[in-house]
Amino acid sequence: MTAARADPAFFDPVLETAVRRFQTRHGLDADGLVGRRTLAQLNETPHGLAERVRVNLDRAATALPIPLGRFIVVNVPGFTLTAYRDGERLLHMPVIVGRPDRPTPLFQARVTNLVVNPDWTVPPEILRKDVARRMLDRDLEYLMEHGFRLVTADSSQLLGFDAANWFDIAAGRRALRLVQPPGPSNPLGRIKFLMPNPDSIYLHGTNEPKRFESPERALSSGCIRVADPVGLAAFVTASADPIWRDWIEDPAW
């Protein structure tokens, strides 16, 4: 800051402008508010900053070049997805990635399938740690309101929520599948992109688009939610008028 100020302790427009400038330089949401992330950046020491630069330089040196053809890059710490064709950037969008306790792993894989209006099989970890523990409080209305079905591991038998032993499910002693059909409350949104990998991570839309407005988007359980699944589907299929677009735009799901 270069302007003289009568009261250094007063958060006036001059100080707010300086905060916004600082936030812009550090890749933060330039809202002029000194929140948790801004305060952490303000308090970072020169040694800490130099160490971050060193780590990022090492990562950049070992990063693979963008190959020819169609290629998608997800920047996990930057919460962005960029799609290239022959090195030219064609798409760029925000994404939501895994929480710190359930991080999105780093890997390379080929997108093999596109699923329109997918159902959602709750991953075993989420079923044990989140859903089953919630059901121990007998919140069965949540499952019924969202159309879930509880079935055996081979999908051969439909089970009742009230008859399930949620203690065994939470402890991992009972392997069951919890499935939610397509619809407005389905967390996968309209499109799912399959890319076989050891961690069963995939790209998908979302039923909560407002979450992309948050500057810090480590919010998922590992899979990657994309802000523009229709645009990404058009890129993946390399088609200007794909047949699936009618299904996407059908309001009846």
**What residue ranges do the domains of the chain occupy?**
13-60, 64-118+184-248, 120-180
146 catalytic, yes or no?
no
Residue type, 19: V
Query: Distance of CA 199 to CAs 93, 124, 132, 218, 221, Å?
Result: 23, 12, 22, 17, 12
Q: What's the token pair of residue 151?
A: 């079935």
Asked if 151 and 226 touch (Cβ cutoff 8 Å), the reply is no
Distance CA 90, CA 231 (A): 10
- Residue in 47, 92, 146, 204 annotated catalytic: 204
Rounded to an integer, what is the distance from CA 2 to the centroid of its chain? Answer: 40
26 catalytic, yes or no?
no
Tens digits of pLDDT across the chain (253 residues): 766 777 878 898 889 999 999 999 988 888 999 998 899 999 999 999 899 899 989 888 877 788 889 999 999 988 999 999 998 999 999 999 999 989 999 999 999 999 998 999 888 788 888 887 777 666 677 788 878 888 887 777 787 877 677 787 778 777 788 889 888 889 999 999 999 999 989 999 999 999 998 888 999 989 999 999 999 998 998 865 667 777 666 655 5
- Residue in 26, 92, 146, 223 annotated catalytic: 223
Q: CATH for 64-118+184-248, among 2.40.10.220, 3.40.50.720, 2.80.10.50, 2.40.440.10?
A: 2.40.440.10
Q: What is the dihedral of CA 158, 163, 169, 174, to 10 degrees?
A: -60
Q: pTM of the entire structure?
A: 0.75
